[in-house]
Amino acid sequence: MTQVQLGQPVADFEVPSTGDKTFRLSDHKGKNILIYFYPKDNTPGCTLEGQNFRDDIAFFNDHNTLIVGVSRDSLRKHENFKTKQSFPFDLLSDEDETVCNLFDVIKLKKLYGREYMGIDRSTFLIDTNGVLRNEWRKVKVKQHLDEVKEAILEL
């Protein structure tokens, strides 16, 4: 599977989802899809990012935009995180990194002098025809929501 490119259709994929479902990209044609990748459930930045999307869910619903969050955490961890934070959107479990690799979000990271491969916080906006319209890499959580909403309004 080739990696995503702006202005090009995103290859179909399917991955386990909260709610005992399978998320298949092609099942959501006709909707804008906001896919946000985050490093780990229940960490401060990841929690705040999800809360920002949760707290403005009416905007996304009003603009025909489905939100899904993706990390390498297990479905069990995702279910707990989603319930604890009352997220009104599904979280996708990409333990084998298939979707992470499609969107090229696995990067070398450093923490306290230790190097490891992890998810680089990133968000992607796919239009109603399945075409990648926007991407945000190295996301800073605080101003991110406004940037995303502005891009949705431009679609």
Residues labelled catalytic = 46
Q: Are 69 and 45 contacting, i.e. CB atoms less than 8 angstroms apart?
A: no
Separation CA 47–CA 32 (nearest Å): 23
For the CA atoms of the chain, what is the radius of gyration? 15
Q: Half-sphere exposure of residue 43, counting CA atoms within 13 Å on the CB side? A: 10
Q: Tokens 């909403």: give the residue.
A: 149
* CB proximity list for 88: less than 8 A, separation 6 or greater: 54, 57
- Backbone φ and ψ for 90, nearest 5 degrees, come out as -85, 155
Q: What is the residue type of 24?
A: R
Q: Which residues pair with 24 in a beta bridge?
A: 14
